[in-house]
Amino acid sequence: MSRLAGTRVLLTGASRGIGRATAAALAAEGADLVLVARGAHALEAAAREVGGHSVAGDVSDGRFVSDCIAHVRARWGDVPDVLINNAGIFALALFGETPVEAFDRHLAVNLRGPFLLIRACLPGMLRRGSGQIVNVGSVAARRGLPGNAAYSASKFGLRGLHEVLAAEIAGTGVRCTWIEPSAVDTPVWDALDPPRGIALPRREEMLRAEEVAQAIVHALTGPAGTVEIRLRGRCTSG
């Protein structure tokens, strides 16, 4: 199948987990990929394997985002057809024990990063009258789960940003899709050290990264009216 042949996709957080699976699924559909993550080594390995082009950097850094979009314009002559905001961080801590730095960092990566990237791509998409922005949220964007103060604040914020975007671009030819998974079995869970009293979901009850990747493929290839996909595994928390 090559339902995305010729579609130029900028995908963040592509070096592992959901982003890595999404890169593979999009490449299998013929998409032309620019992949972003901070760690250059893992990112280049992912790009080599799926056939995309890598641009290493931090999505929360305004200068990097400008350079990245300049890179994309040089490669494709324009902003991408599709922007997928997937890069994210996740740490657990009880509210009163959440370090201010961790709170700020969650907002920077999970909220400021998508804001900067959308802001950089949207004017070009609107001028063209076409394009799609996919934002990867979380069940924690809708429910207050213990230990999730920083993460949930960032993902509720992202959902707000997404809904404002959806309202503003209605009828322009540019569309946006919200992807909202519950827990997904990715490396993000490997190093988590949950606070006392908070039980982590069981890995075997989580969604698979490939299932989220297929939901994203559906968002790009299915009916244009698909504005939101909520995925829930056997474990429905985040």
Ligand X SMILES: NC(=O)c1ccc[n+]([C@@H]2O[C@H](COP(=O)([O-])OP(=O)(O)OC[C@H]3O[C@@H](n4cnc5c(N)ncnc54)[C@H](OP(=O)(O)O)[C@@H]3O)[C@@H](O)[C@H]2O)c1
Which chain residues interact with ligand X by CB under 6 A? 12-19, 36-39, 42, 58-60, 86-90, 109, 136, 138, 181, 183-184, 186-188, 238
Q: CA–CA separation, 165 vs 179, rounded Å?
A: 15
Q: Measured from the CB of residue 45, what is the shortest distance to ligand X in angstroms?
A: 11
Q: Is 151 assigned a catalytic role?
A: yes
Contact 120, 10 (CB under 8 A): no
Q: Measured from the CB of residue 136, what is the shortest distance to ligand X in angstroms?
A: 5
Nearer to ligand X, 79 or 150 (CB): 150
Q: Which amino acid, 163?
A: E
* Edge-to-edge order in the sheet of strand 82-85: 53-56, 32-37, 8-12, 82-85, 131-136, 174-181, 228-231
What are residue 193's phi and psi, to 5 degrees? -120, 90
**Per annotation, catalytic residue among 90, 151, 156, 178:** 151
Q: Measured from the CB of residue 69, what is the shortest distance to ligand X in angstroms?
A: 14
Residue 178 pairs with which residues in a beta bridge? 135, 228
Q: Measured from the CB of residue 187, what is the shortest distance to ligand X in angstroms?
A: 4
Q: Of the candidates 160, 161, 165, 184, which has an alpha carbon nearest to the alpha carbon of residue 176?
A: 165
Nearer to ligand X, 33 or 36 (CB): 36
Residues annotated as catalytic are 151
